[in-house]
């Protein structure tokens, strides 16, 4: 058995940050394990290639939920990255910290050290805003954060239309604003996607004390006398074990970290017994508290100059491809959304609970996985319920580690989520009807002018709403009966074992979750090093 000081399970956004920081000490041996392959293809590096990765079986687990009763028993698609870089290798690259009040709420739930003032230094440590930096934004970190390569005039008008209905415009949001609208920053560097692997690990891949293994599926954490001492993995057809002399850190993401714990005998004892798994630590909260941002789109036919659909259709898409290869600019260098408004669903809400993202284009997902730009001039906006009240769970389907877990998201189960989403659809309509954007809109395509009442809009949400690919909370941090880790991310009842990824969020952040996931990795590394020094 090969031994390392630390083993990190999962080379995603948090795991890569942990591995980099721990391996900065040349005397510390670090093993980073990833179930997926290297992510070095052209369409992974190209920002617009995310459309081709949406159902790519090589780089995407391609999960589906269990039938969701509140969504007409639909099975909702749950994409998850399966590559070095994790979901950051296939995501939309939007960089949003979340709101400062999110983290103060974590602190107030009984997690000292996780308030806004505590986590802000870690955000700044990971960021490189370059010339965009100010006193609230980082400038020396490994993750480049940049403005859109193209600021389309229609997106400019979206921002102005939102401002005219009362949403404050900010040049560069930093997470402290109760509401805001502006262009969205993205983790793109010189026109190329920058996953946490590319930012943190690729530059130091040749360190002799850092071993990165891809295509390795972790079967379980090995426990001995109440402590994590290593992991058992499947590598090809071979079962291997690796020893950890200090700690094991599980960073497999909100959908897979609870599975790893449960397969290791850590979870709800009754549920483990049902799969003939010996209960090593009875932790009923493992897999519970699952949250995601529910999302729905509004699409509208527009005047020709207001959409760039035509630039990515027919022969023009090849010209756009040449433009990208030559300059690393143009529409292929854009993240998933160009601009966004963070707004409150009602005046009584303390701070934004909706994200309205905007793009001067439209596309269609087909059942075979193909994503195509629509052949009409059109624009779209999506509303995300960023502070959902509904809670779901991740359940074991089998003791076979290669069998995906069962995902029960419970979207729209709480009436508050229904009210928020309907409010968000109406707010998009208000922005589209406000000048100067209104002059560009010809007619609403979806949900369509016939959907007027709350009941009709709810029917649309049930038929067409989806997850936003931001799962969190399934191994939550806290000190109640459902908490899985403490404020130092140590798994309760187990020594030398931590979880560090979006699963530890007590409540999901009010925005895209990649940035806070990297921050969690940064902070986790400091906690691990501080505890090692104390020992």
The three-state (H, E, C) secondary structure of 133-184, written as one string: CCCCCCCCCCEECECCCCCCHHHHHHHHHHHHCCCCECCCCCCCCCCEEEEC
What's the CA angle centered on 48, arms 42 and 51, to 5 degrees? 95
What pLDDT does 290 receive? Answer: 98
Share of the chain above pLDDT 90, in %: 94
Query: What is the tens place of the pLDDT at every residue in 281-335?
Result: 999 999 999 999 999 999 999 999 999 999 998 899 999 999 999 999 999 999 9
Instruction: Give Cα 385 distance to the centre of its chain.
Output: 14
Separation of alpha carbons 110 and 34, rounded Å:
32
> Does the annotation mark 470 as catalytic?
yes
Long-range CB contact pairs, 267-270, < 8 A, 24+: 267/396
What pLDDT does 407 receive? Answer: 98
The answer to whether the CB of 33 falls within 8 A of the CB of 234 is no
What homologous superfamily does CATH list for 1-40+76-143+189-291+393-403+471-535?
A: FAD/NAD(P)-binding domain (3.50.50.60)
Instruction: Please give the helix or strand (H or E) that residue 116 lies within, else none.
Output: helix 116-126
Residue 399 reports pLDDT greater than 80 = yes
pLDDT band at 504 (very low <50, low <70, confident <90, very high): very high
Q: Read off φ and ψ for residue 411, nearest 5 degrees.
A: -60, 140
pLDDT band at 369 (very low <50, low <70, confident <90, very high): low
What pLDDT does 461 receive? Answer: 98
| Residue 170 burial class via C-beta count within 10 angstroms: exposed 0-12, middle 13-18, buried 19 and up | middle
What pLDDT does 535 receive? Answer: 76
What pLDDT does 394 receive? Answer: 98
Gyration radius of the chain's alpha carbons: 22
Separation of alpha carbons 348 and 350, rounded Å:
6
Query: What is the tens place of the pLDDT at every residue in 226-262?
Result: 999 999 999 999 999 999 999 999 999 999 999 999 9
Residue 171 reports pLDDT greater than 70 = yes
- What are the residues facing 261 on neighbouring strands? none
Separation of alpha carbons 170 and 111, rounded Å:
31
Separation of alpha carbons 369 and 280, rounded Å:
41
Q: Tell me: domain 149-183+294-387+412-464, CATH 3.40.50.2000, correct?
A: no
Query: What is the tens place of the pLDDT at every residue in 83-136?
Result: 999 999 999 999 999 999 999 999 999 999 999 999 999 999 999 999 888 899
The SS3 assignment for 483 reads coil
The answer to whether the CB of 495 falls within 8 A of the CB of 226 is yes
What pLDDT does 526 receive? Answer: 98
Share of the chain above pLDDT 70, in %: 100
| Residue 342 burial class via C-beta count within 10 angstroms: exposed 0-12, middle 13-18, buried 19 and up | buried
The three-state (H, E, C) secondary structure of 222-248, written as one string: EEECCEEEEEEEEECCEEEEEEEEEEE
Share of the chain residues as helix, strand and coil, in percent rounded to the nearest 5? 30, 25, 45
Q: Which of 105, 152, 293, 470 is catalytic?
A: 470
Query: What is the tens place of the pLDDT at every residue in 35-73?
Result: 999 998 999 999 999 999 988 999 999 999 999 999 999
The encoded tokens of residue 336 equal 């998933």
| Mean pLDDT, rounded, of the chain | 96
Separation of alpha carbons 199 and 82, rounded Å:
17
CA distances to 57, 99, 336, 349, 437 from 185, rounded to whole Å, are 28, 15, 11, 25, 22
Domain definitions of the chain by residue range: 1-40+76-143+189-291+393-403+471-535, 149-183+294-387+412-464
Residue 460 reports pLDDT greater than 90 = yes
What pLDDT does 365 receive? Answer: 80
What pLDDT does 366 receive? Answer: 77
Residue 363 reports pLDDT greater than 70 = yes
Query: What is the tens place of the pLDDT at every residue in 125-152?
Result: 999 999 888 899 999 999 999 999 999 9
Mean pLDDT of 463-468: 96
Residue 377 reports pLDDT greater than 70 = yes
Contacts (Cβ under 8 Å, ≥6 apart) of 74:
67, 68
């Amino acid at each position: 058995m090969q031994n390392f000081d630390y083993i990190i399970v999962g080379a995603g956004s948090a795991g890569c940050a942990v591995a980099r920081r721990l391996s900065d000490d040349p005397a510390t041996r670090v093993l980073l394990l990833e179930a997926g392959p290297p992510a070095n293809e052209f369409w992974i590096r190209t920002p617009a290639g995310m459309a081709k990765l949406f159902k790519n079986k090589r780089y995407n687990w391609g999960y589906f939920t269990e039938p969701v009763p509140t969504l007409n028993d639909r099975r909702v698609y749950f994409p998850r990255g399966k590559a070095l870089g994790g979901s950051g290798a296939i995501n939309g690259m939007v960089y949003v910290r979340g709101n400062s009040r999110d983290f103060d709420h974590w602190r107030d739930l009984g997690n000292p050290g996780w308030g806004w003032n505590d986590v802000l230094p870690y955000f700044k440590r990971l960021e490189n805003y370059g010339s965009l930096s100010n006193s609230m934004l980082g400038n020396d970190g490994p993750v480049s954060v940049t403005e859109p390569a193209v600021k389309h005039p229609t997106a400019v008008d979206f921002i102005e239309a939102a401002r005219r209905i009362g949403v404050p415009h900010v040049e560069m949001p930093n997470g402290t604003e109760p509401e805001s609208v502006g262009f969205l920053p993205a983790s793109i560097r010189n026109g190329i996607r920058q996953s946490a692997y590319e930012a943190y690990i690729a530059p130091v891949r040749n360190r002799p004390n850092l071993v990165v293994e891809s295509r390795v599926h972790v079967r379980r954490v090995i426990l001995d006398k109440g402590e994590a001492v290593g992991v058992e993995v499947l590598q090809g057809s071979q079962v291997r074990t690796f020893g950890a002399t200090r700690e094991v850190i599980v960073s497999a993401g909100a959908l897979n970290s609870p599975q790893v714990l449960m397969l290791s005998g850590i979870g709800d004892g009754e549920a483990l017994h049902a799969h003939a798994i010996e209960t090593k630590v009875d932790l009923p909260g493992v897999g519970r508290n699952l949250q995601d941002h529910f999302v729905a789109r509004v699409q509208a036919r527009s005047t020709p100059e207001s959409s760039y659909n035509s630039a990515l259709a027919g022969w023009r898409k090849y010209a756009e491809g040449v433009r990208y290869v030559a300059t690393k600019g143009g529409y292929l260098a854009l993240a998933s959304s160009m601009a966004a408004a963070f707004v409150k669903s009602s005046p009584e809400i303390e701070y934004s609970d909706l994200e309205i993202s905007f793009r001067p284009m439209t596309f269609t997902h087909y059942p075979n996985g193909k994503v195509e730009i629509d052949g009409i001039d059109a624009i779209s906006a999506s509303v995300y319920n960023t502070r959902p009240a509904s809670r779901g769970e991740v359940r074991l389907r089998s003791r076979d580690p290669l069998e995906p877990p069962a995902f029960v998201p419970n979207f729209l189960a709480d009436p508050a989520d229904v009210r928020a989403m309907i409010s968000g659809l109406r707010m998009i309509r208000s922005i589209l009807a406000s000048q100067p954007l209104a002059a560009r809109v010809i007619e609403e395509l979806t949900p369509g002018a016939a959907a007027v009442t709350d009941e009709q809009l709810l029917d649309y949400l049930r038929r067409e709403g989806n997850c936003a690919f931001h799962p969190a909370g399934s191994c939550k941090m806290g000190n109640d009966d459902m908490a899985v880790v403490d404020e130092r991310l140590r798994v309760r009842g187990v020594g030398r074992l931590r979880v560090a990824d979006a699963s530890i969020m007590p409540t999901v952040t009010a925005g895209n979750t990649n940035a806070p996931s990297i921050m969690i990795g940064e902070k986790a590394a400091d906690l691990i090093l501080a505890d090692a020094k104390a020992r």
